[in-house]
Amino acid sequence: MMVVAKFNGRWVRIVKFSRDVAFSTEKEWFMVNFDFEKANRKREQFKWIPASTRFEAVREFVGE
């Protein structure tokens, strides 16, 4: 299963959810991948964003 969301006019892949992260005392974060269509992913393509972020659209893809 893959979940993608439109964020600031750009589609991102939601990679995972974490309740706590080491860099912030705020709770609930999503890790997103901004270049999910590329086969070779690099660390800078992943970002943490607050779970309170409002997405313009969300799509779920289920593979076989």
For every residue of 46-60, DSSP letters joined together read EEEEETTPPPSEEEE
Range of the domain at 44: 2-61
Residue 10 is which amino acid?
Answer: R
Q: What is the mean pLDDT of residues 54-63?
A: 90
Number of domains the chain is built from: 1
- Percent of the chain at pLDDT > 90 equals 61
pLDDT at 64: 58
Hey, is 45 helix, strand or coil? helix
Q: What is the pTM of this model?
A: 0.77
